[in-house]
Structure 1
Amino acid sequence: MLVFEPKELFYNSVVVDLGTTGLNPANSQIFQIGAIKPTQKRIIVFNQYAYIEENPAFSIKRIDPRDLKNCPPEREVLREFWDFAQDREFIVSYNAWFERKFLEKRSKKHQLAYEGHSYICLMETFSYFFSTDRVPLPLAVRECLGFSPLSWHDGKIGAYLAFRLFGFFCFLDHTVKIEPLCCFIDHNVQYKPLWAHTFFFIKAIRWKGKVPISSNKL
């Protein structure tokens, strides 16, 4: 377990959400990277689209490939993102496994350097905090922040929602603890480490009341 002052972790992180053409980085592309980097004075937003020839995820992400024809290639967008994130130790996202898989495998394909970051998963953080199953980002936002975003969102909006959620968990107490991400056997103390020292979740004090989670309320 690592322990930080809330501001120490908050200002050493960049929050990310991706738009991709599919679920497998071996044959799918990143077409949008939305990222937010907080500083003491303001937040800095990175939002860049990449050119793609086709987009099987059009029905989900509502992106027409014809609108991206003048955008830079994926390699250039990834290079710009790593420059943007180079001064931060932690990459925070709602589904850290998905973001890491795409960021690193697509960077490797383009022969770009990407080593050195750890990842914080907000989905696992929410699951631990409420002792519940993993839920979509809009549901987590509703339960923690009290408003209901649309179930559909692009990378920029996704990064903003994840940023708000990260702030919620980061400033719950006078210290913030992050634990290597685990695969929970149940929601007691039994778990097994998966990616220690690479993936983390915020180990906030667990909510004592049962939170009603229902995906049909989206």
Structure 2
Amino acid sequence: MRNFNPEELFYSSVVVDLETTGLFAGKDQILQLCAIKPTPKGPVVFNRYIYAEENPAYHINRIDPMNLKDCPTEKEVLREFWAFVQDRDFIVSYNAAFEMHFLEERSELHQLPHGNHAYICLMETFSDFFSTGWKKLPVAVRRCLGIRSFKWHNAKMDAYLAFRLFSFFCFLDCPVQLEPIWAPKLWRVKITRLKEKPLRKQPAEWSGKDDEELPF
């Protein structure tokens, strides 16, 4: 276990989500990459779309390759991403094993150096806290935050929801504990759920209607 002051952990992290053409980093590529840094002055957002000739996962993310023709390459975006997150110790995402696999393997394929970040998995955190087994992000944000999310996957939307979920778990208890899980670089926020301590309801100011409703 590693103990953290909640603010220390929160401001040492960056929340990440990505959309890809498939599930296998050796042959599929990243289409959209979003990272959100918490800062005392508000979130700082990195959101990039990436050039691709085709998108076999269009039925999931609705990213049309015709709209990506003028976008930068995956190598260019990954280089920019690693520069953006270099001042953070932790990369937080809902399915951290998937994001870790893609970010690191695609970077190595492009011969790009990448940071030695630890990864915090919010899916593992949610599963452990509620003893539910793995659930998708919309289930977690509906249960914890009262937010109904958008039907289609979008890295910026999902990163925003993961950002809200991470904040929810960080500030439930003090101090925050990180517990290692099944891969050496993967951790979850460890919280003992107390029956007498009700979960704090947070306002559901975003219902997932479209990207323009996000606060940043």
Verify same fold: TM over 0.5: yes
Question: Conserved in 2, the CA contact under 8 Å of 1:129 and 1:207?
Answer: no
Question: 2:5, 2:176 within 8 Å by CA — same for their partners in 1?
Answer: yes
Match of 1:28 in 2: 28
Fraction of identical pairs, as percent = 61
Please tell me the residue identity of whatever aligns with 2:94: Y
Per the alignment, residue 179 of structure 2 pairs with 179
Residue 158 of structure 1 corresponds to: 158
Assess if the C-alpha contact under 8 Å between 2:19 and 2:153 holds in 1.
no
Cα offset, 1:207, TM superposition = 5.6
Give the deviation of 1:41 after TM superposition.
1.0
Displacement over 3 Å in runs of 4+: none
Which consecutive residues of structure 2, in runs of 5 or more, have no partner in the other structure? Answer: 197-216
Look up the SS of the partner of 1:48 in the other structure.
strand
After the TM superposition, which of the residue ranges 62-71 and 199-208 deviates more from structure 2?
199-208
Q: Residue by residue, what CA displacement relative to the aligned partner does 1:67-90 show, whole Å, maximum 9, x if unpaired?
A: 000000000000110011000000
Amino acid at match of 1:205: T
| 1:3-25 Cα deviation digits (max 9, x unpaired) | 00000000000000001000000
Alpha-carbon offset, residue 208 of structure 1: 4.2
1:74 alignment partner in structure 2? 74
Is the partner of 2:15 in helix, strand or coil? strand
> Cα deviation per residue 1:100-141 (whole Å; 9 max; x = unaligned)?
000000000000111310000000000000011110000000
Which residue of the partner structure matches residue 189 of structure 2? 202
What is residue 139 of structure 2 aligned with on the other side? 139
Q: C-alpha separation between the residues in 1 aligned to 2:153 and 2:25?
A: 20
In 2, the alpha carbon distance for the partners of 1:206 and 1:124 equals 14
Alignment of 1:1-218 (within 5 A): 1-181=1-181, 194-196=182-184, 198-206=185-193, 208=195
Please say if residues 21 and 31 of structure 1, whose CA atoms lie closer than 8 Å, have aligned partners that are also in contact. yes
* SS of corresponding position for 1:139: helix
CA distance in 1, matches of 2:120, 2:32: 20
SS in structure 1 of the partner of residue 125 of structure 2: helix
Shift of residue 26, structure 1, vs aligned partner: 0.7
User: CA offsets, 1:184-210, max 9 Å, x none?
Assistant: xxxxxxxxxx223x100000113649x
Q: Which residue of 2 aligns with 1:186?
A: none
RMSD of aligned Cα (Å): 1.1
Shift of 1:152: 1.9
Where 1:202 maps in the other structure, the secondary structure is: strand
- Once residues 128 and 44 of structure 2 are traced to their aligned partners in structure 1, the CA distance between those partners, rounded to angstroms, is 29
Conserved in 2, the CA contact under 8 Å of 1:22 and 1:29?
yes
Q: Residue type matched to 1:177 in 2?
A: Q
Aligned 8 A contact 1:19 1:31 in 2? yes
How many Å separate the matches in 1 of 2:107 and 2:61?
22
TM-score normalised to structure 1 length: 0.88
What is the distance in 1 between the residues matched to 2:142 and 2:195? 18
Q: TM-score normalized by structure 2?
A: 0.88
Q: Secondary structure at the match of 1:112?
A: coil
Deviation readout 1:20-62 (Å, 9 max, x if unpaired): 0000001100010011001111110000011001110011100
